[in-house]
A and B are shown apart, each in its own frame.
Chain A
């Protein structure tokens, strides 16, 4: 358990009323936001690697959205060749470094590990992946080189995991890529989302720089689709377009607008970009609505900033939360309270939020029903994490269930336009899924541009 000490001197601490900065001193904050899973030492890695059984047609590979050859890379670690292990990882997943940090491995590869079935303790695949990728990335040289120039230009919208994976693979295949990014920094949710303690020390930007080491990728910032650039314009100027802009909108609670109520993603982004955590104001009492990773990340980080009471309110039972059991345990261990089977029904306060009134729910014949049983949580801040939504979809793209519809290889209904990542269906909005979709779209774009496969037949 991380320590949380009241800041001395200022008189501000976790129990200071209202919303206040500097509830904890700099030392406590540094400790709280330090690397949550410190890297394995060489010997730890060898011991952990030795536990892998090198399964035939390994279930962990099947469970990995990017299908990393996990038994092979672990054997490469076990035999003292972590650089080779890292290449095996990056061959399938160029963001293997970030995925090693943020993947919910307990519901992916490690859940599938036969040792999980055998003894309830899987091979530590995520930590081993971080071990190998850290070593190769620390050597500073980009491990891949580009194929001969094809003379083709591809536009990628969004420098998040899907866009970066797509761009890297295209560059490797010899195409030139321009990434059109709305924000001042690349990385997408790796940079603006995700709890800070999972990716400390500026890893997202370091990984981005390392990835761009392949060459042939230009990132243009401030280029939001629909404002600075249009899909039509991009199509006209490029041989292909990949849309990986994620989900720019947030779903609102619809209970009115009081100061202190804001989207959780906004709070997390602000925290990730904060120069000094002690300057970041946080409520004494914080309520987070939602049941996914964003809710967990917002709640835990509120606690780590020094909030005295943090409560997650989720409408269904805990077993239905999108956040894994492991993540829920992490939140509970950090001192977050999880109230399941309840929804906010009213916000109280004059100008500022003072309390959140909730009602319990039950499963009824027509789905989830709100009961008359109510309770009120005093709250200085309410972070809303009930989902994000697609924003600014260009005309001509089929949207269903709030996502851009794509076929095999990420093809949209528009000629020469592909899409992947959170703006498309499938994959629970995970970083690793976005990487897989971006990479696969790149392969399909390459096939179309170089006349391989079906494209060749069409000519």
Chain B
């Protein structure tokens, strides 16, 4: 047995994210006690018409969200309880709406900071309707083995540790939500656990007081004793004492009250819950409450820590008198378990998951990215630069200072080549059409291919092949003519022997000046010597030079185009920003730049 919440409790949750979180916790409890999820509907106007998904066991339950309470209870007539998770400024209206629904008998408000006048009004309104209004600021209500309303009881492991999967003999009424778990735990360790534990909320005027719940517990044969966790302020504890002392009661009452420390504080200093902010001595003080409860025959330990032994004492008496029988404990293998998430299962070593993706270069799971195992900040602090990061991510190795300098020069030389080349032009046209940066830059990058900037990889491939197989220049040229066609990396649209490409000269002279072995560059230059004699513009171009140098310093052939793509991206971004800055208008090609070689206008024949 239980009070307020039981196996027949069917719930509506008024609220958004906080309400959904509560539903998830309630689903864990339902799963633990092997009953279907008891949340039937949400009411949250912003999400009306949508659904919320709540994990239950290893599956998901879909719960509809409605515009108002009436709509929810018409569609789910079994609903008899509502939980309010609506902000303090709209909580009162939400509570009234729920109370006024004929099907709803219990409304529990979790919202904190509800104005006192609203709380009082809700409480009185419920009394008039003969219903229960619990809260505001309630952590929830939990009936062991039957029903959880709200997040009371905490995480699943704690529910199990506190034996909430089966009934005990102790009722709990607490103002403090933070102590609800503690007291449930104590009841499960020093006695056989709880029947129902109710968080009434820490406000000065909770909608339902101790006495109302004490009367319900008195009528519940399973509950043999009730523990009250009180605090100073208000007169709820005094009223409970009065009720307890007024007649012979079946239930044994235990209570703790907080706030004695206020007596020894400097005058005017008060702290704790809103409800505790009144009464220092006399009515409303911790002492007056404690004295009243003791006088009425309740057991009142002097500290919270002494509550456990006091509960044990009551439990032992109940056992001795035969009113309670000891409950056999479940073995740990029989305890309820929640299906583990994949993550938890893996952590525990219970499941094996085949990875979808494998990476060998980078790991961002820590507090900063690791590039091939090296922390980005450490690289920075030890003087490494962008070329080193490129080498780590593209070729998984730490290159030397000298190699980094070569890469840096390559990038600087190929960062841009004016607005007329295919890539820049594409980006500029896109920018003028109002296209965003990533798409416009991508339009430029799409141009990189066999005829524009994309010959680096192929040039590297064939120079490497020639050097690896120790071809002569003549062998190489006849091989290329037969098998491939024009030699990638050789030839330029406008540059020639007489009009050399300064970039190539610059790079070649720098690399040659380093005194490092450059077999591929040497081979490429030898090829140029032969081809440029045949035709003036068949010179080693910037793609070919880059390719040869990069292969010389050990970069794999497949990565070579990347150097041009990366470098030129700098320029393309520049062109996009430049057009934006100028607020350039849409451009189109002029007719006079087009040779219209299409057929003249002619008659369309009838469709056959």
Q: Do A and B come from one complex?
A: no
Residues of B in contact with A (beta carbons under 8 Å apart):
none
